[in-house]
Chains A and B, each alone.
Chain A
């Protein structure tokens, strides 16, 4: 049980795909200029990650090592297309806003990375936990970055006006450079959080209690 908890929490902070592993950044920076896109992208990505990890973990003994990468891509591409078509059919507004980034989940390094590094070696249950942890880790970062960028760059949260009318939106934050700046701040904040957790764990370990992290 403790092992699964560790796999789950790894994705949130200490092995966060965006802030620690630094993979899958391009689409993450591109879609975070407002929160609705962040939610959509996070959920779409988590779904594809979960399905791909489970399928590949189930068939990991049947996949020959020499052609594992093409097979991974087929599996990932199939689930991405399913998400793309479903979003077009049932949430057309969201699909329009996300544009090309949904099809691009296929080449998102987070999925490729987790499938190659984790689910091609681990059991199905561990993969479910890992993909949910990684997916949530990805989603919370997207939401955080998007909230700051939308609030400062547009004066809104989820499309609702938050800032007073006299507020002049700082356009910089909705543009790519603003994305990089906020992203960098998140990286440093995450390192600080990780240190806090590690320190708490070390202290708890010293006094003979169980580690929290």
Chain B
């Protein structure tokens, strides 16, 4: 009994020693890389927001945006303004598509229309569903409209149904339907937020 206890303590201490050294090393690496990673993230978000809203000047994170109900979740939201006046809201939303969650940045103007959609992350089948993220895949070749590009200017009162008012990606109905649902829900939430907070601006 006594030797067993001794063994447990000895092994525990050795394991602790290895873990502590590993943690100190990781803490050091994290200290070096964290500011760089955060900077990159912030720059990427800012760039995407500028692409969504032409002429946008400043972005302000909305502190208490609802997290979303059901399968679609909202990670964060940014109030976009130009010349001191709010021109819309961008919502970072994630929802299920074919190969896992797809993350979108959905811009909604104060006119209750979609200002634009950017696909930030998509893990669907390469060559099929992943075309949602491909800048050279056009659902309408004549006007060079990409799959997320077709949402630009679309009124949120539309039904947002793939193969009806949303042109689906060829052979990728699940992806198309999933993304349309995310856009719709994020758009509705953004409109509701803008309507509720519009008076303060």
Interface residue SS majority, chain A? helix
Contacts of B15 in A (CB 8 A): 67, 70-71, 74
For the complex formed, measure the closest distance between the CB of A12 and the CB atoms of chain B, giving whole angstroms: 30
Contact of A75 among B11, B22, B30, B40 (CB under 8 A): B22
| B126 partner residues in chain A, CB cutoff 8 A | 33, 174-175
With a cutoff of 8 Å between Cβ atoms, the chain A residues found around residue B29 in the complex are 81-82, 85-86
Q: Judging by beta carbons under 8 Å apart, are B26 and A78 in contact?
A: yes
Verify A78–B127 contact, CB threshold 8 A.
Answer: no
Q: Complex Cα distance A89/B32, Å?
A: 9
A160 at the interface (CB under 8 A from B): no
Chain A residue total in the interface (Cβ 8 A):
27
Q: How far, in angstroms, from A63 to B14 measured CA to CA in the complex?
A: 8
A-B contact pairs, 18 of them (CB 8 A): A63-B14, A64-B11, A67-B11, A67-B14, A74-B15, A77-B22, A78-B22, A82-B25, A82-B29, A85-B30, A85-B37, A86-B29, A88-B37, A89-B32, A154-B127, A169-B127, A171-B127, A175-B126
Contacts of B36 in A (CB 8 A): 89-90
Cα A102 to Cα B193 in complex, Å, equals 38
Closest B residue by C-beta to A62:
B14
CA distance A62 to B123 in the complex (A): 43
Q: In the complex, are the beta carbons of B33 and A89 less than 8 A apart?
A: yes
Q: Give chain B's interface secondary structure class.
A: helix
A-B interface pairs (CB < 8 A), number: 56
- B43's closest neighbor in chain A, by CB? A92
**What residues on A are CB-neighbors of B40 within 8 Å?**
88-89, 92
- Closest 4 A-B residue pairs measured CB to CB? A78-B22, A89-B33, A89-B36, A85-B33
Chain B positions within 8 Å of A, measured between CB atoms, are: 10-11, 14-15, 18-19, 22, 25-26, 29-30, 32-33, 36-37, 40, 123, 125-128
A33-B126, A89-B36, A175-B127 given; A82·B26 CB < 8 A: yes
B122 to chain A, nearest CB (A): 11
Over the window 172-190 of chain A, the binary record of Cβ atoms lying under 8 Å from chain B Cβ atoms (1 yes, 0 no) is 0011000000000000000
User: Is the beta-carbon distance between B25 and A78 smaller than 8 angstroms?
Assistant: yes
Query: A205 within 8 Å of B by Cβ?
Result: no
Which B residues lie within 8 Å of A154 (CB)? 127
A117-175 contacts to B (CB < 8 Å): 153-154, 169, 171, 174-175
C-alpha spacing A175/B128, complex, angstroms: 10
A74-B22, A77-B22, A78-B25 given; 4 more Cβ-contact pairs under 8 Å = A71-B15, A88-B40, A89-B36, A99-B123
Contact with B along A36-62 (1 / 0, CB 8 A): 000000000000000000000000001
Nearest residue, chain A, Cβ from B171: A171
Q: Does A207 contact B (CB under 8 A)?
A: no
Nearest CB in chain A to that of B14: its residue: A64
B25 engages A89 (CB within 8 Å): no
